[in-house]
Each structure stands twice: as C-alpha cells, then as structure tokens.
Amino acid sequence: MIEQAIYELRGQLRDSDVFSQAMTDAELRHWIEEAVLRWSSNRHISTGDKLAIVRGLFHSFRGLDMLQPLLDDRSISEIMINSEQDIFVERDGYVSKLDMKFESRERLEDLIQQIVSPLNRVVNEATPIVDARLSDGSRVNIVLPPIALKGPCMTIRKFPEQPLTMERLMDRGAITKQAADFLKVLVQAKYNIFISGGTGSGKTTFLNALSSYIPDDERIITIEDAAELQIRGIPNLVTLETRNANTEGKGEISIRELIRASLRMRPNRIIVGEVRGKEALDMLQAMNTGHEGSMSTGHANNVWDMLSRLETMVLSGSELPLPVVRSQISSAIDIMVHLTRFADRSRGVYAISQMIGLDNGEIILQPLFQYDGDEPDRSQRLKRSTYPLHRTEKLQLAGLALPEEER
C-alpha cells in the first residue's frame, strides 16, 4: 500500500503548480506532509505508514527514491540491482534478496539518469556502461540494455563515513599487531607497497588504513578512476580523478595522463587507487624515479597472478621486452600485500611478501608473513616467516629500525 501511495502521490505532486526545484528541503518536506495529510484524511492509515509515505516522497524528489533508505543503512555495504524486479544487498559479507522492486523499468531508468546527470556522466544505448561516484563517496557502476539483457543493472559499493583504522582492522582479525607494526615501519621508511586481492577483499580499506602511517609533513597525490580513498591527517594532499569522454568522444583524462601530470607537482609519494591497464608502466616508472613510498592496488587471486597481470598490463601499453618489464617490476615494488575473503566471509591479509629481484629472468618473491588457517586464535593467524627483510638500505637512510622482535 505504501509503494502504491507513493507512486500515486508523486505524480500528483510533480504536476502541481506549487512544486519547484528551488524549494528548500524544509519547505519541500512541509509541503509533502500537508499533501499526505489531505490524501489520508478519508483513509484508515497508521501514523507510521504516513511517515513512511512522507519519507518515500521526499526521497523521490531529493534523494534516490526507494534506494535512499538502503544508502542510509550503515549495515549494508553493497546494493545490487539486477533489474527493476531484482534487488540484492550485502550485509556482513552475506548477500540477500530484498522484498522490494521498482514500479517500472522506466522509473529505474529515470533514477539512473538522476544519478549520472549531476556527475557530468552520460549513460545511454550508445554508451551503456558508466562508472560514477555519489556525493557520499559511494561507487556506482551502471550497465544498460542491450548489454544488460534483464534490464538496467546498477551496483553501488558503499564506503564507511569514517575509514577503518589499522587498529580496528586488528580488532577484526584482519591483520596481526606484529604485521601491522612491521608495515608501519616500512611505510615510514618509504618502501613501495602494492596491494592485491579479489573483488571486495578490502584493498581500498586497507590502503586507507596503511596511509595513516605516512608522515604528515609529506606531499601526497592520489590518482583514481573514481575517488574512493579517504586519506586523513595529510595536510598537503592532492586528489585527482579521471574524466570520461563527452558525447563527442573528446575530453577524456586517463590515469596515465594523471600520473604523468602528478610527476610535475612535486609529490613525495603517489598513490594510484587501482591499476587495470597501460597505466601500470607509468606507475612503475614513478616508483623508480624518486617517488619512493608510493602505493597502488590491483585485482588478482594471489601474489603471483598479480605479478603476471602487471606484466600483461605493461606489455599492453608498450613494446618492451619481457625481461625489461620484469626488471622494472622487481626494482619498483618492494612489498606485496595480498588480501582475501576467508571462508567465514571475513576479509583480511593473506600474505605479505618482499621483492628480492631477478634470477635467470624470473621475479623472486619471499614471504614475510603467511596466513595459517590451522591457528585457532584468529588474531594470530598471520605468521612471520624466517626470511629476513631485504633492501634494508631504506631503513638505514630513514634512520628507522624494525620492531624489537624483528631484529
């Protein structure tokens, strides 16, 4: 009944001579409340239902309609709309289908246009795929027919208002204190760190937490497709975001261009939110040309797959011989951190490895920490290996030392 009432009243209010986009939120809400009271005067409707109708109408004009309560629900980390009939959400790592749907495909399409229009993005049959970012930082991916066969498809990845700190990740068992203290020293000593993991494994969250160890007197430049990083405590911070081409196919600004531009901005460190293609070469070259302490992330099932993907990315943008590519990777990256989703749906660090160099043309990695699933204490499952840390000259130059137990 509530959905039907919202649908009926929304059309009446939108066509009203009183309605204006110039209304303030307070004026709009007051006007909606009066309209609902008049509409319900000859109907038996509870106060709770009236309030739900008012909220629904307000969200349809100023928010994201029926999706707004889902966005406001902090327990939901992801919203997945497969069509106007199928809406799923993720809570605590578990996905469930909601007992709600859009009144029509047209309403979902209108909502999609409502989302992308203020963001200077275009999505239509000619350009049926788009990535965007909501005002609250949530990431949105949209795919329209004819690419999406069941109807308009939209995925919204939400991010916490306050990014998780390393301390909270330790409390959740995502990383041990020993490993966190180890990484803290490496970040401060300007080791180049690459974070890999599958979709939803927590790469951005971990990168945010790791960035809290960066000294606050450094100049940091972040580069992303859609700005998701929430780096705090760095006064000298520049945030760059790519731009898609306009309807004429012009005006695109890629990650490669942003990385090159950032080199002229006197950064101490460059943080690339995620590498997916040719920009991998520019990222590696930045790490190799005096911007030590830089960080980035990438999608992969394990560390070795990530190295293979990096090779493929670099080769897709250049004609360098494979041995040269591997030399670039082994000299640019010092530490690889791999994250994963475990069987209990929790997320955490699976391995921390160090780059040793090349041996007969092959990249050599050594584990520093490795996940031990047989350890009953979840907070102690990331075990330190017996291998010592290499490339210790960075520690010496920074005047730092590893925690006592690592010496």
Secondary structure string (H, E, C) spanning 59-93: HHHHCCHHHHHHHHCCCEEEEEECCCCCEEEEECC
235 and 187 within one domain: yes
- CA distance from start to end of the chain: 68
Q: Tell me which range, 50-54, 118-122, 140-144, is most confidently predicted by mean pLDDT.
A: 140-144
Strand 269-272, strand 220-224: pairing: parallel
Tell me what pLDDT residue 24 has. Answer: 77
State yes or no: pLDDT of 382 exceeds 70.
yes
Tell me what pLDDT residue 331 has. Answer: 95
Average pLDDT over residues 317-341: 95
CATH of the domain at 307: 3.40.50.300
| Residue 390 φ/ψ, nearest 5 degrees | -95, 180
71 and 46 within one domain: no
| Local confidence band at 277 (pLDDT 50, 70, 90 cut-offs) | very high
**Which domain does 34 fall in, by range?**
1-62
Q: Considering 62, 88, 105, which residue would you say is the last residue of a domain? A: 62
State yes or no: pLDDT of 406 exceeds 60.
no
Average pLDDT over residues 303-330: 94
pLDDT greater at residue 73 or residue 296: 296
Q: Note the pLDDT tens digit of each residue in 27-52.
A: 778 888 888 888 888 778 888 888 88
Q: How many CB atoms lie within 10 A of CB 286?
A: 25
Q: Note the pLDDT tens digit of each residue in 153-207.
A: 999 998 777 778 999 999 988 999 999 999 999 999 999 999 999 988 999 999 9
Provide the number of structural domains found in the chain: 3
91 and 13 within one domain: no
State yes or no: pLDDT of 66 exceeds 70.
yes
Write the burial class of residue 126 (CB in 10 Å: 0-12 exposed, 13-18 middle, 19+ buried): exposed
* Buried b or exposed e, range 155-190, using 16+ CB within 10 angstroms: bbbbbeeebbebeebbeebbbbebbbbbbbbbbbbb
3 and 126 within one domain: no
Q: Please say whether the beta carbons of 67 and 111 come within 8 A.
A: yes
388 and 254 within one domain: yes
Tell me what pLDDT residue 55 has. Answer: 79
| Pairwise CA distance, residues 280 & 256, whole Å | 8
251 and 106 within one domain: no
Tell me what pLDDT residue 88 has. Answer: 96
382 and 251 within one domain: yes
286 and 386 within one domain: yes
Tell me what pLDDT residue 15 has. Answer: 67
269 and 257 within one domain: yes
52 and 171 within one domain: no
pLDDT greater at residue 302 or residue 227: 302
Tell me what pLDDT residue 1 has. Answer: 62
The percent of residues above 90 in pLDDT, for the chain, comes to 56
Average pLDDT over residues 83-110: 90
Q: Note the pLDDT tens digit of each residue in 300-312.
A: 999 999 999 999 9
> How long is the chain?
407
| Residues 6+ away with beta carbon under 8 Å from 130 | 116, 121, 122, 123, 141, 142, 244
Which residues are paired to 220 by β-bridges?
237, 269
The percent of residues above 70 in pLDDT, for the chain, comes to 95
Q: Please say whether the beta carbons of 230 and 137 come within 8 A.
A: yes
CATH of the domain at 143: 3.30.450.370
State yes or no: pLDDT of 216 exceeds 80.
yes
Structure tokens at 72: 């406001």
Tell me what pLDDT residue 19 has. Answer: 66
pLDDT greater at residue 13 or residue 230: 230
Q: Note the pLDDT tens digit of each residue in 352-374.
A: 999 999 999 999 999 999 999 88
| Residue 274 φ/ψ, nearest 5 degrees | -165, 135
Q: Single out the residue of 150, 157, 67, 70 nearest to residue 114, CA to CA.
A: 67
| Pairwise CA distance, residues 355 & 366, whole Å | 7
Tell me what pLDDT residue 68 has. Answer: 83
| Residues 6+ away with beta carbon under 8 Å from 224 | 239, 240, 241, 242, 255, 272, 273, 274
329 and 182 within one domain: yes
Q: Considering 62, 80, 111, which residue would you say is the last residue of a domain? A: 62
Q: Considering 119, 139, 158, which residue would you say is the last residue of a domain? A: 158
Strand 193-197, strand 295-299: pairing: parallel
> Percent helix, strand and coil across the chain, each rounded to 5?
35, 20, 40
Q: Please say whether the beta carbons of 221 and 272 come within 8 A.
A: no
For the chain, the average pLDDT equals 88
Average pLDDT over residues 265-279: 93
Q: What is the DSSP letter of 181?
A: H
397 and 279 within one domain: yes
| Local confidence band at 54 (pLDDT 50, 70, 90 cut-offs) | confident
Q: Tell me which range, 15-24, 138-147, 160-169, is most confidently predicted by mean pLDDT.
A: 138-147
| Pairwise CA distance, residues 124 & 101, whole Å | 22
